[in-house]
């Protein structure tokens, strides 16, 4: 049985509905793994680094799903800082014997922020490929087969609706936790 920490912001937490609606709850209900939802509303990747010991290492996990960057984009953090922070989180995980998994954040329904987040997502994909890090592509479930945004999946242009969280749960390949 794996011990999985889900480290992130409000989209990991399950805002505005709470953790029972979050994509993390899918892992709780559909596996025998121990799952810890360590999503905190408003967190940036810098916040996640600061609380890594308390909220990740303290659980002695086998895996950590790292999903962040959206609040960094909102607060206009630099691309370089965001990717450096994400890389640090992955490296801290590996250094502590924890298998990192990168979660690709959902889209913003705001063009300028989405353009900046898309660049971070692309870095995440590339970094994961080059470093053999597993990825959960939460982003892609927010689009139909024609590439159109499923607006019913976004509550306020950034946070998922209940249907959006359910779709995110469906993107998880459970074999990455074996």
pLDDT reported for residue 175:
96
Q: How confident is the model at residue 107 (pLDDT cuts 50, 70, 90)?
A: very high
Give this prediction's pTM.
Answer: 0.97
CA distance 4 to 20: 16
pLDDT reported for residue 72:
98
Task: At 73, list the tokens.
Answer: 């984009």
Domains of the chain: 3-177 (3.40.50.1110)
Q: How confident is the model at residue 108 (pLDDT cuts 50, 70, 90)?
A: very high
pLDDT reported for residue 155:
96
Closest CA to 143 of 107, 103, 98: 107
Where helices occur in the chain by DSSP H, the ranges are: 10-13, 23-30, 45-50, 52-55, 70-74, 79-95, 111-131, 162-170
Residues 5, 59: contact at Cβ < 8 Å?
yes
Taking only the tens place, the pLDDT of each residue in 19-71 is 999 999 999 999 999 999 999 999 999 999 999 999 999 999 999 999 999 99
Taking only the tens place, the pLDDT of each residue in 126-165 is 999 999 999 999 999 999 999 999 999 999 999 999 999 9
For residue 154, give the DSSP letter: B
pLDDT reported for residue 10:
98
CA count, 13 A, side-chain hemisphere, 38: 30
Q: What is the mean pLDDT of residues 64-84?
A: 98
The phi and psi torsions of 51 (rounded to 5 degrees) equal -105, 10
Q: What is the mean pLDDT of residues 119-131?
A: 98
CA distance 95 to 10: 26
Residues 7, 64: contact at Cβ < 8 Å?
yes
Q: How confident is the model at residue 93 (pLDDT cuts 50, 70, 90)?
A: very high
């Amino acid at each position: 049985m794996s011990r999985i920490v889900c480290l992130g912001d409000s989209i990991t937490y399950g805002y505005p509905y709470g953790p029972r609606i979050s994509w993390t709850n899918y892992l709780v209900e559909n596996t025998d793994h121990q799952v810890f939802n360590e999503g905190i509303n408003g967190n940036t990747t810098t916040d996640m680094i600061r609380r890594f010991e308390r909220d990740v290492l303290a659980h002695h996990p086998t895996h950590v799903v790292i999903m962040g960057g959206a609040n960094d984009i909102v607060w206009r953090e630099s691309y370089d800082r965001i990717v450096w922070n994400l890389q640090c989180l992955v490296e801290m995980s590996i250094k502590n014997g924890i298998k990192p998994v990168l979660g690709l954040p959902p889209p913003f329904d705001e063009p300028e922020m989405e353009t900046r987040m898309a660049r971070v997502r692309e870095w995440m994909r590339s970094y994961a490929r080059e470093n053999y890090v597993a990825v959960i592509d939460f982003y892609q479930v927010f689009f139909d087969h024609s590439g159109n945004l499923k607006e019913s999946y976004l509550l306020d242009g950034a946070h998922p609706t209940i249907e959006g969280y359910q779709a995110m749960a469906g993107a998880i390949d459970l074999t990455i936790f074996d």
